[in-house]
């Protein structure tokens, strides 16, 4: 079975530009979460979507937005990119949205903002 897939794998953008990152969850999983991992830190929660509704939002500015599609895939959008947005962006999926659900991560999209 395919795991969580993310595209693109790498991306280079310049300050002020917009970026869209994509994620396909494991088949049958209805919950998708997004995390940002800056070098030397642990992943930091950005958003969670379950059944196409936003269920959680981390401490990130409004430049960050996301959505989930009817097939449960998801997009993360970042507007007006800053140098500090350079990071590994991870997508995770799980079947449901309750305690003890294990999240499975994709390989990530590495974003470099110049």
Instruction: List contacts with another protein (CB under 8 A).
Output: 4, 31, 33, 35, 40-45, 48, 50, 55-56, 58, 90, 92, 94, 97-108
Q: What is the smallest separation between the CB atom of 107 and another protein, expressed in angstroms?
A: 5
Closest approach of Cβ 44 to another protein, in Å?
Answer: 7
Is the N-terminal amide bond of 8 cis, ω within 30° of 0?
Answer: yes
Nearest approach, Cβ of residue 2 and another protein (Å): 13
């Amino acid at each position: 079975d395919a795991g969580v897939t993310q595209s693109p794998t790498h991306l280079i953008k310049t300050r002020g530009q917009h970026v869209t990152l994509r994620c396909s969850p494991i088949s049958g999983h209805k919950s998708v979460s997004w995390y940002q991992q800056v070098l030397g830190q642990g992943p930091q929660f950005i958003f969670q979507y379950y059944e196409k509704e936003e269920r959680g939002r981390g401490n990130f500015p409004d430049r960050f937005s996301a959505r989930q599609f009817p097939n449960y895939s998801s997009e993360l959008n970042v507007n007006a990119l800053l140098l500090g947005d350079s990071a590994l962006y991870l997508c995770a999926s799980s079947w449901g949205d309750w305690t003890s659900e294990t999240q499975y991560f994709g390989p990530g999209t590495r974003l470099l903002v110049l």
